[in-house]
Amino acid sequence: MQKPPKVRVQISGKGSQILKLRSLAGDITRRVPDTLTTSNWAIHLDPTDVELALPKGADVRVMEVRPSEITLALDSVTRKEVRIVSLVSVTPDSGQVLH
């Protein structure tokens, strides 16, 4: 799996509020949909995605996200269902019944 490209975000707000964001990890997390059937996944990014990752009480506004769409090439994943048969046998003591 390839590493996602860098994304730049333009933020508007007071200098003191913007300085509070220096320690922000800067991660936007997305889950790959279970219904994805291709090896490429296009993700649209908009300012609300970034605003959700900002700390509560941050008085800033996200103006722009660049690029607004990224495409990731994913490794293929295979799924196989295997039937499992128990090899355990239980014999009840005399006078006992299994339910």
Map out the domains of the chain as residue ranges.
Answer: 1-99
Contact 58, 21 (CB under 8 A): yes
pLDDT per residue over 27-53, tens digit each? 778 888 888 888 888 999 988 888 777
At 78 the pLDDT is 74
Residues 6 or more apart in contact with residue 27 via CB below 8 angstroms: 53
Give strand pairing partners of 9: 65
**Full DSSP string of 14-37:** -HHHHHGGGG-------PPPTT--
Task: Indicate left, alpha or beta for 56 from its phi (over 0: left) and psi (-120 to 50: alpha).
Answer: beta
Question: What's the pTM value of the predicted model, to 2 decimals?
Answer: 0.57
